[in-house]
Amino acid sequence: MSADIVNQPVVASASMEDITLVGIDTGGTFTDIVVMERSPNAGTIRHCKVLSDPADPSGPIVEGLNRLGLKDRALQIIHGTTVGTNAVLEGKGVRVAYVTSRGFADVLTLGRQEREQVYQLQQPEVSPPVPRELCVEVPTRISADGELLESISDDELEQIKGRLDELDIESVAINLLFSFLRPQEEKRIAEELEDRWFVSCSSEILPEVREYERGMATWLNASVGPVISRYLGRLQSRLPKAGIAVMQSAGTTIAADQAAYQAVRLLLSGPAGGLAAARSIAAQTGNPRLMSFDMGGTSTDVALLNGEIPLTGQCRIGAWPLSIPSVDIHTIGAGGGSIARVDRAGMLLVGPQSAGASPGPACYGQGGTQATVTDANLLLGRIPGNTLLGGYLPLVMGKAEQAVAELAVKMGCDVLDAASGIVRLANEHMARALRVISVERGHDPADYALLCFGGAGGLHACDLAELLDMRRIIIPARSGVLSAMGMLVSEPGRETSRPVLRPLAELADTEIASWFRSLEKDALSQLTAEGCTPGSVKFRRRLELRYLGQSAAIGIDWSAGGEHEAGFHAAHEKASGLRLPHPIELVNIRLSARAPAVLQSIDIRQEHTGLKDGERVLMPELSKEVPLNQRAGLQAGLSLDGPLLIVESAATAWVKPGWVATPDEWGNLLLQA
């Protein structure tokens, strides 16, 4: 087998009997594949990296499984995909008609009247998500208390169908005013349309108050649903023996045959896998407080964890709001493939443009000619010149030198200074992102350990920690494919909600409990249909509360007989410093349902192949040779003083002078300054 295949023992649970479990993370540059195989007495972990293909993301998956000898095997695949994300960011969703109540066709165009540049008098023109000619109004009106004031007739519904026929659409988004209080009207319209078009109903996608956010979620779902459906269908046809589940934005999984209908819940699918792995690493290393740093080839994702995966209901995907429960991450366009250039004023810029997988950085030898962060790291010696990227792709030093030399001429410096400048500027961009999720939210980075992963994460770990005055770093085992590893420990789950909009004092615990039971029944039905054992599903129940008259709500946990008013007052005071004498309103109830993951943890013990003495490589950055160690050869508890390089097939770690690296029994590198 090729060098990209790593064979290691795994501590497997009895529930994994006879399962070949595959985690797949499709990134902008590489597609990462991790395989856990169960044998009668033990288990093994293998992995590989393959260059991604944005035109057909399923191709590299099949290539990687062939490389691992698994294409024709019965597999259980858990897949984090960027297909939906890319469709939104690149405007390549399908043509959607927006069906809404009479008088509300412009809701998505008007939005919240937010300005990207607040003080600019002449705002740039922004194209609406749905052109006016694709907005269709219907004479159905529901009041704020759920009363049906007017309903579309059968004849009018036939006329609507005729109009939609003329619009050359592939999908329909239905968002009636107050539909979450009376979903029957949307369902009636949908039943007449779903035999012709892909249909999304707002009362199913996001049954909550705020027609703009609800409409945007429904439109996004209708736009990318057919794209996701075609992609997963193509992948399933190429892997007919595989069962496929897809990672959701909330860090849970959903069966592939249901994923297209909830496509809007997949838009942060890939980064969610990294946080699932981070949660497992936190428990494994006894470091619940982590700042995660996932640096790939195209982008960098950062997040702050306090024992659990952080979720938010207020994020954005490109220009659009996404009010679906999603992992709380901050993403920037900085990665190994970020392109360096000099502007007209002679200033060095790095990113957000990326060389991606094709043509890739210059050193890939795939036709790229522009200098990137990867090229700079190669010239500085942080990536050894004989590295096989992903275990199979040789790097071309001459191409990197040529690309960076052209940049150095424009900068008026030598090649090494130019390479150093590229890396330093990329570090500043990434440190700024880490400050956004820590300092700007009132957290001191020094109180956290920096968890660095992704193909390029270990190369920048020490630099970032020093910029943030952090003294602890964790570079996990198989850090280059950790997001794919996270897929293996992700739980099947659902996030559901129900709108209430009533004073909390008027509601009895029994009434709230009955609403939760209804949500639990629906979630349990979906999860058991995917093969989950009903008795193993766990629920978390939360109330979203606000003072009467407020627009924003705060979530607190609910339990029968709990002091929820006191809990809300305390939560509000902690968030804003205020405790007000106003009535409290219950806006929504939220239910999180989780079934056990097939793989309970990534406690994978590292095999020690024996440290080879005398391996040293030239580090041009330091003008001297430094030790080079194979990660698999490091004995647990061994202290290694920087500077040194620690390499494995999927990633390289650069330990700067002043840092000490100590491997633990699981193969994680624990760095201390």
DSSP-derived secondary structure for 149-161: EE---HHHHHHHH
CA angle centred on 607, ends 66 and 456, rounded to 5°: 65
Q: Is residue 635 in some structural domain?
A: yes
Check residue 614 and give left, alpha or beta (phi > 0: left; psi -120 to 50: alpha): left
Are 149 and 241 within one domain? no
Specify the CATH number for the domain of residue 142: 3.40.50
Q: Is residue 507 in some structural domain?
A: yes
Are 537 and 636 within one domain? no
Are 198 and 237 within one domain? no
Q: Is residue 31 in some structural domain?
A: yes
For 65, other C-beta atoms within 10 Å of its C-beta total 24
For 509, other C-beta atoms within 10 Å of its C-beta total 13
Specify the CATH number for the domain of residue 248: 3.30.420.40
Last residue of one domain, picked from the residues 184, 216, 248:
216
Range of the domain at 654: 616-672
Are 579 and 528 within one domain? yes
Are 176 and 107 within one domain? yes
pLDDT reported for residue 302: 93
For 354, other C-beta atoms within 10 Å of its C-beta total 23
Contacts of 184 (CB under 8 A, 6+ apart): none
Are 77 and 180 within one domain? no
Token readout for 54 is: 């944005």
Q: Distance between CA atoms of 36 and 22, rounded to whole angstroms?
A: 6
Check residue 417 and give left, alpha or beta (phi > 0: left; psi -120 to 50: alpha): alpha
Are 504 and 590 within one domain? yes
Are 497 and 517 within one domain? yes
Q: Is residue 13 in some structural domain?
A: yes
Q: Is residue 287 in some structural domain?
A: no
pLDDT reported for residue 391: 72
Token readout for 654 is: 């650069």
pLDDT reported for residue 413: 93
Token readout for 590 is: 């939220």
Specify the CATH number for the domain of residue 587: 3.30.1490
Q: Is residue 284 in some structural domain?
A: no
Token readout for 249 is: 């934005």
Q: Is residue 424 in some structural domain?
A: no
Are 249 and 212 within one domain? no
Are 113 and 190 within one domain? yes
Token readout for 57 is: 């993301």
Contacts of 355 (CB under 8 A, 6+ apart): 337, 338, 339, 361, 362, 368, 370, 372
Are 180 and 243 within one domain? no
Structurally, the chain folds into a number of domains equal to 4
DSSP classification of residue 372:
B
Are 79 and 178 within one domain? no
For 526, other C-beta atoms within 10 Å of its C-beta total 18
Check residue 658 and give left, alpha or beta (phi > 0: left; psi -120 to 50: alpha): left
Listing DSSP states for 512-523 in one string gives: HHHHHHHHHHHH
Q: Is residue 622 in some structural domain?
A: yes
What's the pTM? Answer: 0.87
User: Consecutive 10-residue runs of the chain (673 residues): their mean pLDDT?
Assistant: 37 51 89 78 76 90 92 88 85 94 94 79 84 95 93 93 94 96 95 94 93 95 94 93 92 91 89 90 92 89 90 84 90 88 91 85 92 95 85 88 95 94 95 94 94 93 96 93 91 93 93 96 93 92 94 92 92 91 95 89 59 74 89 87 89 94 91 93
